[in-house]
């Protein structure tokens, strides 16, 4: 995983319950850079969002990403939010964010996701993996939770 670059243009995310459109995806790591602008992500049973307003825990289950001939599978994708700045009834701004993954690590400095009831913008990521550890990213994340009345 050291010193290699991947460049692709344009990608879509297809899920069972939600449709996510990602506008800009830029991956930067210590020893290698990955720029992915076009690939397909297939998710099954993803976005089992378990959002607790007290602890700000988000759990994603069975996150499968297929990048052309490159297959990345992330099972039991857990996101734990360690610190938050401001909490609104519908807006949450968060600093510091840990992502634990089984196989690979994807860091998203500029990442915009639009879902039916959620609008999530992630700017930085700090990711810890089993096979590869990349600890040099500080994560700044902004969640706009737009719930329906």
pLDDT value of residue 32: 30
Q: How far apart are CA 149 and CA 115, in angstroms?
A: 16
pLDDT value of residue 106: 39
Cβ pair 77, 58 in contact under 8 A: no
DSSP 45-100: S-------TTT-EEEE--EEEEETTEEEEE-SEEEEEEEEEEE-SSEEEEEEEEEE
Q: How far apart are CA 134 and CA 123, in angstroms?
A: 16
Q: How far apart are CA 97 and CA 82, in angstroms?
A: 6
User: At 46, is the pLDDT very low, low, confident or very high (cuts 50, 70, 90)?
Assistant: very low
Question: Looking at residues 73-102, what average pLDDT do you find?
Answer: 33
């Amino acid at each position: 995983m050291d010193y290699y670059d991947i460049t692709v243009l344009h990608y879509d995310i297809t899920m069972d319950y939600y449709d996510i459109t990602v506008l800009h995806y830029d991956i930067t790591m210590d020893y290698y850079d990955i720029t992915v602008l076009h690939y397909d992500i297939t998710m099954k049973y993803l976005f089992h969002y378990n959002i607790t307003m007290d602890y700000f825990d988000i759990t994603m289950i069975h996150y499968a990403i297929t990048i052309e001939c490159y297959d990345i599978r992330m099972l039991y994708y857990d996101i734990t939010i360690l610190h938050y700045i401001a909490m609104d009834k519908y807006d949450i701004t968060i600093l510091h964010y840990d992502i634990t993954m089984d196989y690979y690590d994807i860091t998203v400095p500029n990442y915009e996701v639009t879902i039916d009831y959620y609008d999530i913008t992630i700017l930085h990521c700090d990711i810890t993996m089993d096979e590869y550890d990349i600890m040099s990213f500080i994560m700044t994340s902004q969640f706009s939770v737009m719930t329906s009345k």
